[in-house]
Structure 1
Amino acid sequence: MFPTLKTERLILRELVEDDAQAILDCFSNVDVLRFYGQNSLTSLDQVKQIISNFSNNYEKKAGIKWGIEREGVDGIIGTIGFQEWSHEHKRADISYALSPEHWGSGYATEVVKKVITYGFENLGIKRIGAVVFVENTSSNKLLEKLGFEKEGVLRNYMYQDGVPHNTNIYSLLNDKSI
């Protein structure tokens, strides 16, 4: 059964086909994608396939992706989850995105803290990694505030719109408290 998580103001729940339009809106937004390293999503059919892939990854225990919903308000405002989940090596990478109208609300901090705790306490993860564009000041600050340590810079590691970008590589070990 897919885990539903709650924070003070938010619910993290399984993504379903009804979320396709909200995901399309978020991941076709140039401001969201500026530092995401992903091409713009272009169709509901494409998004429905991605939702199906998320479900399959969870069933195979290869990743988990939640939709972020405000308590008492239908519809997601972003996504968060783990990918590159390795049971053998007890590690996963975290990624998250919010629609721009919800930036600056503290929601990202709230959900990242919750997912980190869940990963350490419920999934047996010992190391959570994050790869962030050097230019993504907000995300870099968020991770550092939550105790992630910068391990280095990966040069020309991700492309956005055909342009190479350097990325910071971060990690958080579960021997640290957040």
Structure 2
Amino acid sequence: MFPILETERLILRELTESDAQSILNCFSNTDVLRYYGQNPLRNIEQVKQIIRNFAESYNEKRGIKWGIELKGKKGTSIIGTIGFHDWSSEHRRAEISYALFPEQWGNGYATEAVSTVISYGFNTLNLTRIGAVVFLENESSNHLLTKLGCE
């Protein structure tokens, strides 16, 4: 069963095909992609395949990706995504990635979500190492990770 995580203001839940348009909007936005290291998504079918890939990755214990939803706004669009990729149960490590829609930047949601997912990784998945690849120019993300104890 896919884990649902809750914070004071957020619900981290499994992505579904109903999230496809929100994901397309986010990951075709040049502001979001500036530091993400991927090409813009082009169409809904591409996004639906990515969502299916996330589900397969979770089932095979290679990764996990949550949609970030505001608490009390169930059924509304997600405000971003967060998750682990390159997850190795054997080596007890994973890399974290996250993205919020620009209109949600500066509200502390990324800190709340990243903190919760890191805790889940160490305490539930029994990871001993969580890494992150961050562009040097991405000062906000570098600051967030440093604030949460990453080196």
TM-score tier by shorter-chain length is over 0.9
Distance 2:54 2:107 in 1: 26
Once the two structures are TM-superposed, the CA of residue 91 in structure 1 deviates from its matched residue by: 0.2
Counterpart CA distance in 1 for 2:42 and 2:101 is 16
- Higher strand proportion: 1
User: What's 1:66 paired with?
Assistant: 66
Structure 1 CA distance for aligned equivalents of residues 52 and 148 of structure 2 = 31
Aligned partner letter, 1:146: L
SS state at 2:36 partner:
coil
Aligned to 1:173: none
SS of corresponding position for 1:135? coil
C-alpha deviation, 1:21, in angstroms: 0.2
Structure richer in helix, relative to its length: 2
Aligned equivalent of 1:103, options 102, 105, 108? 105
| Root mean square deviation, CA, Å | 0.4
Mapped to 1, the partners of 2:17 and 2:100 lie a distance apart of 18
TM-score when normalising by structure 2: 0.98
Aligned twin of 1:14: 14
In 2, Cα distance between equivalents of 1:87 and 1:16 = 25
- Structure 1 residue 22, shift from structure 2 partner: 0.2
Shift of 1:88: 1.3
Distance 1:106 1:2 in 2: 25
CA–CA separation in structure 2 for the residues paired with 1:39 and 1:75: 22
1:126-145 alignment runs, 5 A limit: 126-145=128-147
Cα offset, 1:89, TM superposition? 0.9
List aligned pairs for 1:1-178, cutoff 5 A.
1-73=1-73, 74-149=76-151
Within 2, Cα distance between the matches of 1:142 and 1:71? Answer: 22
Shift of 1:124: 1.1
Identity %: 68
Q: Which runs of 5+ in 1 are unaligned?
A: 150-178
Structure showing greater radius of gyration is 1
